[in-house]
Chain A
């Protein structure tokens, strides 16, 4: 999970993930467009994202296509977000009950 947090800690890499969220299966060349980064920098970011398993790849002939792999993000969600979310949902539910209760009083 350390690799995932490290990979997510860079705005350029997050931008690459956003691009892959918009369109699935892009080549390195396509990912370099509108990134304002050198091809080498994009390539290095992609290697790190792939290492963290946030980007999956697949070969089509001689072209390497990149995909967003949100599975590790889902694990973070399960581990770090959901339990807090559940608590706040419960609080909201209680608040709703109280407010609705008051209206009836």
Chain B
């Protein structure tokens, strides 16, 4: 097996685990802070896709590995252009832990090819998405970064 790399992102959000989980898996929420929707029936083994609601363009595809709402979601992750290449699939794990009034959301993106354009993309993407998710859930408004895309 070739060497892979991983990134771990942590965000504390003042919201219930259910609201956070829904914000990830339900298109009507995701499109507001992520400018994309995650579409699936969220059953283990089912496909999922990350889609731009404006253009319908699918940016990321993969399979649902585990889905245990509102605590844990594990999905595989690849660019549609590399769908046939098994080594191009990385893995994303969302874990939600309630700590007092807050939820600690940990996003672990592993099995990435070091130095790949996917690695570069996700290291820019996750901090922005998580920051926007927090703002959206805590204030009801997405960050201006996404406002243009969601208008």
Contacts and interface: CB of A to CB of B under 8 A. Distances in A.
Q: Is the interface of A mostly helix, strand, loop or mixed?
A: mixed
Contact of B10 (A24, A71, A75): A71
Interface in A10-69: 24-25, 53, 56-58, 67-69
A53 B6 contact: no
A69 B108 CA distance: 11
A75 B145 CA distance: 12
Contacts of A75: 131, 134
A1 to B, nearest CB: 12
Interface residues of B, number: 21
A53 B8 contact: no
Contacts of A68: 7
Contacts of B145: 78
Contact of B6 (A24, A73, A74, A82): A24
Given A24-B5, A25-B5, A53 B131 contact: no
B127 interface: yes
Contacts of B131: 71, 74-75, 78
B130 A24 contact: no
A78 B33 CA distance: 14
Interface in B130-144: 130-131, 134-135, 143-144
A70 B12 contact: no
Q: How large is the interface on A (under 10, 10 to 19, 20 to 34, 35 or more residues)?
A: 10 to 19
Contacts of A78: 131, 135, 143, 145
Given A56-B106, A58-B108, A78-B131, A71 B11 contact: yes
A67 B127 contact: no
A25 B1 CA distance: 18
Interface string B93-121: 00000000000001010000000000000
Given A71-B127, A78-B131, 12 more contacts: A24-B6, A25-B5, A25-B8, A56-B8, A58-B8, A67-B6, A69-B9, A73-B127, A74-B127, A75-B131, A78-B143, A82-B144
Interface of B: 5-12, 106, 108, 123, 126-128, 130-131, 134-135, 143-145
Interface of A: 24-25, 53, 56-58, 67-71, 73-75, 78, 82
